[in-house]
Amino acid sequence: MPYAHLLFLAVAWQLQAADEVSYRKQIQPLVMARCEGCHRSGPVNLSTYEGLRKAAPLLTAAVSGSPPRMPKAGAPLLAEEVTLIRNWVAAGAKNDGPGELWWSLRPLPSSSKGTIDKFIAAELGGLKPSPQADRRVLIRRLTFDLHGLPPTFEEVEAFARDADPQAYENLVDRLLASPRYGERWARHWLDIAHYGDSHGYDKDKPRANAWPYRDWVIAALNNDKPYKRFVDEQIAGDILFPEDPQALTATGFLAAGPWDFVGHQELKEGSTDKNNTRLLDRDDIVATVMSSFTSMTVHCARCHDHKFDPIPQEDYYKLQAVFAGVDRADRPFDDDPLVYTERRALLEERREVQLRLQPLLDKVEFATSPEIVTLTDRIQDASLLITHMGTPRTPAEAEEKAKLQARQTADRAAKQKLVDALVGEQTYADMKRVQAEAKLVDDKFAALPKPRAVYAAAAYFPRAGTFRPSLEPRPVHILNRGSVTSPGKLVAPGSLRALPGLSSTFQADTEGGRRAALAQWITDKQNVLTWRSIVNRVWHHHFGSGIADSPNDFGRMGTAPSHPELLDWLAVWFRDEAGGSLKQLHRLIVSSATYRQSSANREDAAQIDANNRLLWRMNRSRLDAESTRDAVLAATGKLDFTMGGPSVRMFFFKDDHSPVYDYARFDPETPGANRRSVYRFTVRSVPDPFMDRLDCPDPSVITPKRNTTLTAVQALVMLNDPFVIRVAGDLAAKAPTVREAVRRIWLRDPTAQEEQRFTQYANKHGHANLCRLLLNTNEFLFVD
């Protein structure tokens, strides 16, 4: 049949022809992603159908040819995409309706009616929901979910017997009112902020003042700060709420991620590596902000236009420009709002003086001539050799060291002379004058009470090494292929253009004004991403998977929502009815019959929906690392509920060129050793091996969803880690009978058979060994 394939081709051609290209579904999204970035005004405006139709005759030619003239940024269009455009133009460039927006960008319904259970039932089809779980299961599930802790045996018993028809609702209210709630849910938020207590990279220095931000998150959740305010403060609290010192600590969010100490503090100003360090530091801030609040992967557009979502490179750099005036550094603040106000005014004054002082200092710092360079090299050479020598071991070495030091002193003096001659007296005179002004301000600072500090986004801070504030926002250019050596067009601060109804260019020049504008853009009622993002995130933590199961990616590479109407309804309800109250959102979700279902498997349903995307049952979950550690401590009654303050260093620490963090040498009697895991000092370079094995994420990774693995080394840490063995011993002393131990760990009485087996074992090998084994059981580590 030699003609068979021809026949096939002919059929395929006809299908193609019959299958008319859709403006709404195909052309508009393509143009939005690849063309509109540049062509949104002027003679060629592709942002409207009318504009596109007028440009249609030119369009095909512009995108075909080799190389094609358009698009200028990113890869050429694919052959298939060019064909789409050609066919659409050839068929008359018809408009079959307004461009179809991606689900996450569509407007939210103005109002809608429903309940969670109705939306879930609507998708279940023929499947029946599962019956409600029994009360013992419910209280354990709810307490772990809202507190990250188990209830006590007594609480379980009381709830199981509670005759009040409102017993469940009362339990929910009690749990949400407890400060344990904020500690638990702050941990989820800190995962996406990728909060850590050290900088990361080489020379991983402790970050002593990160914790006020962690405390801010816990307090914000416990006080049920409305979500709009929760977001505003983390991006621009210092600007939008200048009277409130706590709003400044919220901007610790922007600084929560890793920071390259060597890159910032040791590299020379103006070097390629320095510029790259800054670029990547800003990239981390932009990625964190946009992933956390809008669930968009803006960071994919650093080197080229986003390949899948309508985010041109320009939008990404507009977001970099928002943060172009800040670095990560300690910022002083005062609990007394009056002192704080005074300090803010002084800081602004000091920044203004520094703005005049810095160019004069730079004249000295960057003064150069061949002679100066030679001397600088000799001075450095001496430093290197002296450091390398360490403490001299022989008289000859001592003599050599003294010689080097003498030479260095002489070289320094000679260099100073050369620099002075080059810089000139006038500069020094000017410098002296401005420095006197600076001192006046500094003296006023000294007169204020000693401030506290938070590691946050900072526009002004004292210089350390080569790390110094920009004082004014640095210019931001679009970087060709993301390279600092190929700067293109200068951009103004702004955000994504893909959101209908929101302006993507900010009328803001000042550093603070830029951040305030972004905060307001994100929390605008019309920013549909923001409201969808947060309700999906909360849902994810309650059920173990989101309605859209990619909480940080609502783009085309993410997962489409399983229940889109439910997601939209929740977003509108949360924004309008609940006024952004997260506690009300939790209450709504955990009160649903969907949440209260049993987690038991059902063969009939599993055959249709094994992954339970339709939620015909509740998901069973394994405790995460923090809940495991906290639950182990809770079982002994030794859990220390002290809240807030500096993070607890659960390791041996020695400061050095690269500081040493050694978990094996930790003394468990250290005060605070039994506090909740959210107060652990998290070291980026050296994870706590116990937590690490239990899937605690690397704090340098933005983690919207944790992995859960089951490995042999995990079994080993649960069996052998000194922490577990110590706590099992404590537990044995506290609960000396099998019955008492089982009650504390499983929250129930043992069966007769269990009691007999366990007693037999404990009699033979000791009660501490039994307690250790019970802490290793699946019943302890899984939540039904």
Partner 1 sequence: MNRRQFLFTHGGGLGGIALAHLMQAQPAPQAKAKRVVQLFMSGAASQCDTFDYKPLLIQKANEKWDPGEKVELFQSNPGVVMPCPWEWKQYGNCGKWVSGLFPHTAQRVDDMAFVHSVMAKSNVHGPATFMQNTGFILPGFPSAGAWVSYALGSMNENLPVFVVLPDPRGMPPNGPSNWSNGFLPATHQAMVIQPSSDTPIHDLHPPASAKHITAASERDGLELLRETNRAHLAQRDGDSRLEARIASYEMAARLQLSAPEVMDVSKESEATKKLYGLDREITADLGRRCLIARRLLERGVRFVQIWSGADNGFPRRNWDSHEHLAKDHGELGTALDQPVAALLEDLKARGLFDETIVHWTTEFGRMPCSQGSKGRDHNPLGFTQWLAGGGIRGGVSYGATDEWSYKAIEKPLYCYDIHATILHLLGVDHHRLTYRNNGIDRRLTDVHGQVIQDLIA
Segment 41-60, which members bind partner 1 (CB under 8 A)? none
- Phi, psi (5° rounding) for residue 662? -125, 110
* Residue 343, both tokens: 């300090």
- Interacting span for partner 1 (CB under 8 A) from 87-95, 448-456, 467-475, 601-609: 601-609
Kindly state the smallest distance separating residue 765's Cβ from partner 1, in Å: 4
Query: Are 266 and 466 in contact, with CB atoms under 8 Å apart?
Result: yes
Query: Are 322 and 578 in contact, with CB atoms under 8 Å apart?
Result: no
Cβ proximity to partner 1, 223 vs 369, nearer residue: 369
Closest CA to 101 of 568, 520, 576, 705: 568
- Interacting span for partner 1 (CB under 8 A) from 47-55, 90-98, 230-238, 706-714: 706-714
Kindly state the smallest distance separating residue 362's Cβ from partner 1, in Å: 19
Which residue from 121, 208, 262, 593 is in contact with partner 1, where contact means CB under 8 A?
262
The H or E element that residue 456 is part of is: strand 452-458
Distances (CA, A) of 400 to 56, 390, 722: 79, 12, 50
**Of residues 264-293, those binding partner 1 (CB under 8 A):** 266-267, 271-273, 276-277, 280, 284, 287, 291
Q: Does 111 bind partner 1 (CB under 8 A)?
A: no
**Of residues 412-441, those binding partner 1 (CB under 8 A):** none
Cβ proximity to partner 1, 178 vs 376, nearer residue: 376
CA atoms of 421 and 431, how far apart (whole Å): 15
Which residue from 44, 87, 686, 740 is in contact with partner 1, where contact means CB under 8 A?
686
Which residue from 251, 297, 520, 674 is in contact with partner 1, where contact means CB under 8 A?
297
Q: Mask: binding to partner 1, 74-103, rule CB under 8 A, as x and -? A: ----x-xx----------------------
Cβ proximity to partner 1, 499 vs 717, nearer residue: 717
- β-bridge pairing 487-490 and 477-479: antiparallel
Distances (CA, A) of 146 to 138, 179, 358, 638: 12, 10, 51, 20
Q: Please name the residues in contact with 36: beta carbons below 8 A apart, sequence gap of 6 or more.
A: 46, 47, 310, 312, 497
Strand, coil or helix: 640: strand
- Interacting span for partner 1 (CB under 8 A) from 129-137, 339-347, 528-536, 716-724: 716-724
Cβ proximity to partner 1, 552 vs 677, nearer residue: 552
Kindly state the smallest distance separating residue 267's Cβ from partner 1, in Å: 7
Kindly state the smallest distance separating residue 776's Cβ from partner 1, in Å: 6
**Of residues 522-551, those binding partner 1 (CB under 8 A):** 550
Q: Does 606 bind partner 1 (CB under 8 A)?
A: yes
Query: Are 506 and 545 in contact, with CB atoms under 8 Å apart?
Result: no
Q: Mask: binding to partner 1, 744-763, rule CB under 8 A, as x and -? A: ----------x--xx--x--
Cβ proximity to partner 1, 394 vs 707, nearer residue: 707
Distances (CA, A) of 603 to 366, 606, 609: 75, 5, 10
Rg (CA), the chain: 31
**Of residues 614-643, those binding partner 1 (CB under 8 A):** 620, 622
Cβ proximity to partner 1, 477 vs 622, nearer residue: 622
**Of residues 127-166, those binding partner 1 (CB under 8 A):** none
Amino acid at 280: L
Cβ proximity to partner 1, 443 vs 656, nearer residue: 656
Q: Does 777 bind partner 1 (CB under 8 A)?
A: yes
* Residue 201, both tokens: 């990279």
Which residue from 556, 613, 734, 739 is in contact with partner 1, where contact means CB under 8 A?
556
DSSP E strand boundaries for 324-445: 327-333
Which residue from 603, 667, 669, 752 is in contact with partner 1, where contact means CB under 8 A?
603
DSSP E strand boundaries for 167-269: none
Distances (CA, A) of 32 to 37, 101, 173, 481, 489: 7, 10, 47, 20, 20
- Please tell me the total number of residues recorded for the chain in this structure: 784
Kindly state the smallest distance separating residue 687's Cβ from partner 1, in Å: 7
Which residue from 99, 555, 616, 681 is in contact with partner 1, where contact means CB under 8 A?
555
Question: Residue with structure tokens 């693995």?
Answer: 709
Kindly state the smallest distance separating residue 658's Cβ from partner 1, in Å: 4
Kindly state the smallest distance separating residue 624's Cβ from partner 1, in Å: 12
Q: Does 486 bind partner 1 (CB under 8 A)?
A: no
Q: Mask: binding to partner 1, 371-410, rule CB under 8 A, as x and -? A: --x--xx--xxx-xx-xx-x--------------------
- Interacting span for partner 1 (CB under 8 A) from 226-234, 493-501, 567-575, 703-711: 703-711
Cβ proximity to partner 1, 17 vs 713, nearer residue: 713
Q: Give the up-direction half-sphere exposure of residue 339: CA atoms within 13 A in the CB hemisphere.
A: 14
CA atoms of 100 and 105, how far apart (whole Å): 10
Distances (CA, A) of 281 to 201, 233, 274, 276: 13, 21, 11, 8
Query: Are 372 and 419 in contact, with CB atoms under 8 Å apart?
Result: yes
Strand, coil or helix: 95: coil
Q: Does 608 bind partner 1 (CB under 8 A)?
A: no
Which residue from 91, 402, 701, 733 is in contact with partner 1, where contact means CB under 8 A?
701
Query: What DSSP string runs through 733-781?
Result: HHS-SHHHHHHHHHSSPPPHHHHHHHHHHHHHH-HHHHHHHHTTSHHHH
Which residue from 241, 308, 428, 653 is in contact with partner 1, where contact means CB under 8 A?
308
Cβ proximity to partner 1, 223 vs 368, nearer residue: 368
Q: Does 778 bind partner 1 (CB under 8 A)?
A: yes
CA 543: distance to chain centroid?
21
Cβ proximity to partner 1, 30 vs 219, nearer residue: 30
Cβ proximity to partner 1, 214 vs 299, nearer residue: 299
Q: Please name the residues in contact with 514: beta carbons below 8 A apart, sequence gap of 6 or more.
A: 321, 322, 323, 324, 325, 473, 493, 506, 508
**Of residues 323-382, those binding partner 1 (CB under 8 A):** 373, 376-377, 380-382
Cβ proximity to partner 1, 24 vs 203, nearer residue: 203
- Interacting span for partner 1 (CB under 8 A) from 15-23, 152-160, 666-674, 707-715: 707-715
Q: Does 300 bind partner 1 (CB under 8 A)?
A: yes
* Residue 60, both tokens: 């095909």
The H or E element that residue 361 is part of is: helix 337-365
- Interacting span for partner 1 (CB under 8 A) from 214-222, 436-444, 516-524, 659-667: 659-667
Find residue 467's DSSP bridge partners.
464
- Phi, psi (5° rounding) for residue 114? 155, 180
Cβ proximity to partner 1, 111 vs 708, nearer residue: 708
Q: Does 484 bind partner 1 (CB under 8 A)?
A: no
Kindly state the smallest distance separating residue 556's Cβ from partner 1, in Å: 5
Closest CA to 223 of 202, 246, 205, 240: 246
Q: Does 708 bind partner 1 (CB under 8 A)?
A: yes
Cβ proximity to partner 1, 6 vs 384, nearer residue: 384
Kindly state the smallest distance separating residue 32's Cβ from partner 1, in Å: 13
Closest CA to 455 of 280, 591, 251: 251
* Residue 466, both tokens: 């080569």
Q: Give the up-direction half-sphere exposure of residue 681: CA atoms within 13 A in the CB hemisphere.
A: 26
Q: Does 607 bind partner 1 (CB under 8 A)?
A: no
Kindly state the smallest distance separating residue 169's Cβ from partner 1, in Å: 28
CA atoms of 335 and 328, how far apart (whole Å): 21
Closest CA to 202 of 282, 130, 271, 258: 258
Kindly state the number of chain residues that form the binding site for partner 1, as judged by CB under 8 A.
115
Distances (CA, A) of 222 to 178, 186, 721: 8, 9, 33
- β-bridge pairing 487-490 and 621-622: unpaired
Which residue from 162, 721, 740, 755 is in contact with partner 1, where contact means CB under 8 A?
721
